[in-house]
Structure 1
Amino acid sequence: MSKTTTGHPKGLYTLFATEFWERFSYYGMRGFFVLYLTAELINGGFGLDKKAAYSIYGIFTALVYITPIIGGILADKLIGQRKSIYIGALLMALGQFTMALSVATHHDMFLTREMSLYLGLGLLILGNGFFKPNISTMVGGLYSSNDPNKDSGFTIFYMGINLGAFVTNFIGGSLAENVGWQYGFIAAGVGMVISTIWFFLRETSIVSGETNLPVGMPPKDDPEAKNKLVSKDWSNILVYVAGITVFSYILVHIIITVDTDLIMNVVYALAVAGISYLGWTIFQNTSGKTEWSRVIVILALAVFNVVFWSGFEQAGTSFNTFANEYTNRNYLTGILGEEGIPASWFQSINAVFIIILAPLFTIIWDKLSQNKLNPRTPFKFAWSLVFLGIGFGVMAIANDTYNESQMLISPMWLVMVYFFHTVGELCMSPIGLSMITKLSPPKIVSVMMGLWMGSIALGNGLASQMTAISEKYGFDTFYFITIYALVAAVIAFLVSPILNKLMKGIH
């Protein structure tokens, strides 16, 4: 496979830039979404209280990670990763532009404000299901299972994610908060269009017909395709996009008009059916003691993944409102207007630290590998939970400082929190993506990637309920998550030697 001077396949950089623009789109709307929902009607928002906004945010971000299970299955069994990426990208672009329509105060009966909001979210959720697991699977497919460059390749890819997340809040967030919410959504939609165009131009050269992505074709490939999509593939992509858009409109219309209890019963039934099908798929395509041993490791690490993201995803909810209401953003008032720094800009701090620290972590992992000292994956997960707990300890002190003084606190508190959480993220997220491609049974790599995204979904859903859970037991939310994360870290350290043995030679 063709490689660059860095030792990584050329296709890595195609996928890097594709993911950059997709994350520009996703994190752009995510950065100001809760602020948009809680903004007063007169200011173009929906005027929701925090709990209602957190709930919508939590459901959205959870579903964003559940649909990859379906997208992974479809890619493995039917359409392949490349077509899935195109389908997902086009749906997400439509979703962002539909979200922009939700800002308008007047709509006709076919597309009200509420309808536009939920239809846009639905298209983003389903589009992400096609896109997210399959681009990560394609990155893994560029390397052999025990390629020493694989972890560092995923870390480079992870930088693409965070470069997009870094840039977007300065553009989309500023437009949304200072000009109009709709312009933030439009900026996110444009980013998704650029992602699609880039992938189209790079995955197969129009001039030479050659590709630097020798992976991701449909499982039953047309012999005439020669590792590139043909006309019937493009027709298939458009049919999927049109069909899913119509389906989403009908589904959202039903959700808005039908009794809530009935909807929840249907959701629970579908969840049970989905989990059962996922379990059956894994059972049918896993064979031998070695494969089953490695699947057990994936399931065990998925539990720690849930714990991590249930804390980390406070960034879009409680951290976002903390930045908006309790943090001194006015020290640049003369440059950035009366409100100073837009609250959504704080969402870029994590991305800044990723950009700074990811190359350093790549060097560290490579050097440790050369000296045979690189920690095994379960130990890296344990350390990620330690840093998560430290970050929440800092956040708890910051919250106490505000409560005692009733004065806006320094932005540096949030900077410190995001630093520790970023270090934890680098020990968890790219390592987890790499681990899935190493340990999964060969026939269901995308399905297992979908399962992994499902564990992140559970973490996101749990994140939106952490305040309610902690208050139920009489704890401050930030202290509660501090203890919760550190206890999980201790458990992770204790079971790591067992999990290392079950990995059966995979590092």
Structure 2
Amino acid sequence: MTDTATPAATAPEYPQTLGHPRPLWMLFMTEFWERFAFYGIRWALTLYIVAQFFDGDAAGQGYASRTYGAYLALVYATAVFGGYVADKIIGYQRSILLGAVVMASGLFLIMWPNQSVFLLGLSTVIVGNGLFKPNISSMVGQLYGVDDPRRDRGFTLFYMGINGGALVAPLLTGWLASVLSHAPMQQNYRAVFLASGVGMLLSLVWFAIGRRSLAGIGRPPADQAGMARVAYVVIGVIVAIPLVYLLMARVGALGLQWLLSAIFVGVGAMLIVEALRTGTVQVHRVIAMLIIFAFNVLFWMFFEQAGSSFNFLAQHIVDRRLFAGWEFPIGWFQSVNPVAIVLLAPLVSLGWAWLYRKGAEPSIPRKFGLGLLFNAIAFVVLIYALSSLVSTDGQIPFWPLVLVYVLQTVGELCLSPIGLSMVTKLAPARLVGLGMGGWFLSTAIGNNLSGLFAGHVSGESGMTVASALSGFTFSFWLLLGASLVLLALAPLINRLMHGVK
């Protein structure tokens, strides 16, 4: 099979816009609407579960956090299979189109106020996202030649663009939930899910119209372009949705952690076996990539407290009263991260470019170490607030949580877009899609751990100042230790990468 994922030594001659291939902007607008859909529901899920299925009882926080973590984990874990489907069966463009249809269906399904149907809807979103998410990121890498110094900057711009959707979605859906009606909040949350479903349909239409600008990139080879292969994948989707539902409803977050870890080992083995066919250099590069994947797990374990423990912190412990009694909507905290990305991503991109010209741009593992370090510093702010700024009514000021999101965003910009670019450089040429799936799988493991950890912070009766302080202190020390270890290992990892920057 022709490898549609492999970044060629020289990419097709695309028209350029703002110094980058024009299809880049089509791809990040497609992802803009997909991220609108994803982040439109992200902030509301745990709050909806507690309100709808536990009648607002704080004892439901632990279950909600574990369910949220499992959902996020499976969203990213299915990227492994979605990447393989695109690599070997139907190509990238068809995978993205099919994934968008399935995701939109799931977003409309979770509106039904029944716990089993809700979990089935989440399972449908998960399967659709697995087909969509890794493959659009892989296609960005194919727009640039292997040695094109704009690749990292292109991924950073892509990352900035897609976060426009993540910025707008919580603002709009948070406003909908707070002002739509005086009905119980769980009914307003269902309007949030409807708006997100519409956003996913817009993503589908945008890509369907704009994909002709890709000049054939992402299409299957001519001898494998028949619709029979698409039909087989559709059957696989129909089978996969109830299997994912069983993982959500029956296996639970702890059992899922063992399963994800086993899959991660299997993916690593497949990548190494493929590398052995090429030679020692490729084996070393895969090992370097897998080491970085392991540190990626820790980053996302604590970064993804945003949708679980940070949500309950904002709801119960943060004083959100700002002007004349107006209360800052909980969902709007989720827009701090994308606002910071939109503002800071150009500066980070320019900073890397300036250091590149000076011959001093940090290597990939050092960038990851900086990402972990900024994540650790963010928890220092929470430790200070929860130990020194608690008012007599048990609340902390508004600003520490905002600052936490900003600091975590700096860490994210050092790590996440660089990770996407890293996979397209280090993965075996024939399995770039699977390598991208492995990247998302490491994120999935971190996300599932985030739910387990958030459930521990909330305990059996809900989050308290004491439980939050204890949990976030642990977060700081683990992240700090991991960042120092990775920075110390950076020279060894750089040697394993054999010149890849």
Which residue in the other structure is 2:499 paired with?
A: 505
- Determine whether 1:285 maps to 2:274: yes
TM-score normalized by the length of structure 2? 0.87
Is the contact between residue 115 and residue 253 of structure 1 (CA under 8 Å) also seen in structure 2? no
Which residue in the other structure is 1:196 paired with?
A: 204
Which residue in the other structure is 1:37 paired with?
A: 49
Structure-to-structure mapping, 1:386-425, within 5 angstroms: 386-401=373-388, 403=390, 405-425=392-412
2:36 to 17, 24, 41: 24
Cα shift at 1:331? 1.9
Which residue in the other structure is 1:215 paired with?
A: 217
Is the contact between residue 176 and residue 185 of structure 1 (CA under 8 Å) also seen in structure 2? no
Supply the AA of the counterpart residue of 2:426: L
Q: Structure 1: how far apart are the matches of 2:255 and 2:411?
A: 37
Q: Structure 2: how far apart are the matches of 1:386 and 1:251?
A: 34
Structure-to-structure mapping, 1:147-226, within 5 angstroms: 147-179=148-180, 180-204=188-212, 211-218=213-220, 220-222=221-223
Structure-to-structure mapping, 1:61-72, within 5 angstroms: 61-72=72-83
Q: Structure 2: how far apart are the matches of 1:435 and 1:82?
A: 22
Q: Structure 2: how far apart are the matches of 1:150 and 1:494?
A: 26
Cα shift at 1:162? 1.2
Which residue in the other structure is 1:356 paired with?
A: 343
Q: Structure 2: how far apart are the matches of 1:467 and 1:41?
A: 19
Structure 2, unaligned runs of 5 or more: 1-12, 181-187, 460-466
Supply the AA of the counterpart residue of 2:208: F
SS in 1 for 2:222: coil
Cα shift at 1:461? 1.1
Structure-to-structure mapping, 1:33-432, within 5 angstroms: 33-39=45-51, 49-101=60-112, 103=113, 113-179=114-180, 180-204=188-212, 211-218=213-220, 220-222=221-223, 232-233=226-227, 237=230, 240-241=233-234, 244-245=237-238, 248-249=241-242, 252=245, 260=250, 274-275=263-264, 277-286=266-275, 287-332=278-323, 340-401=327-388, 403=390, 405-432=392-419
Structure 1, unaligned runs of 5 or more: 104-112, 205-210, 224-229
Judged with a 3 Å threshold, the aligned counterparts in structure 2 of structure 1 residues 367 and 250 are, in CA distance, closer, same or farther, namely closer
Judged with a 3 Å threshold, the aligned counterparts in structure 2 of structure 1 residues 304 and 272 are, in CA distance, closer, same or farther, namely closer
Q: Structure 1: how far apart are the matches of 2:54 and 2:474?
A: 36
Q: Structure 2: how far apart are the matches of 1:416 and 1:264?
A: 30
Which residue in the other structure is 2:9 paired with?
A: none
Larger RCO, structures 1/2 (Cα 8 Å, 6+ apart):
2
TM-score normalized by the length of structure 1? 0.86
Is the contact between residue 54 and residue 60 of structure 2 (CA under 8 Å) also seen in structure 1? no
Which residue in the other structure is 1:2 paired with?
A: 14
Q: Which range moved further: 87-96 or 177-186?
A: 177-186
Is the contact between residue 12 and residue 157 of structure 1 (CA under 8 Å) also seen in structure 2? yes
Is the contact between residue 23 and residue 214 of structure 2 (CA under 8 Å) also seen in structure 1? yes
Cα shift at 1:55? 0.6
Q: Structure 1: how far apart are the matches of 2:120 and 2:197?
A: 14
Which residue in the other structure is 1:227 paired with?
A: none
Supply the AA of the counterpart residue of 1:378: P
Supply the AA of the counterpart residue of 2:36: F
Is the contact between residue 310 and residue 460 of structure 1 (CA under 8 Å) also seen in structure 2? yes
1:120-145 CA-to-partner distances (Å, cap 9, x unmatched) read 11011111111111001000011112
SS in 1 for 2:44: helix
The number of aligned residues is: 472
Q: Structure 2: how far apart are the matches of 1:421 and 1:273?
A: 29
1:178-222 CA-to-partner distances (Å, cap 9, x unmatched) read 431111000000000000000011112xxxxxx33541112x334
Is the contact between residue 384 and residue 427 of structure 1 (CA under 8 Å) also seen in structure 2? yes
Percent identical across equivalent pairs?
A: 39
Supply the AA of the counterpart residue of 2:360: L
Cα shift at 1:332? 3.7
Cα shift at 1:322? 1.0
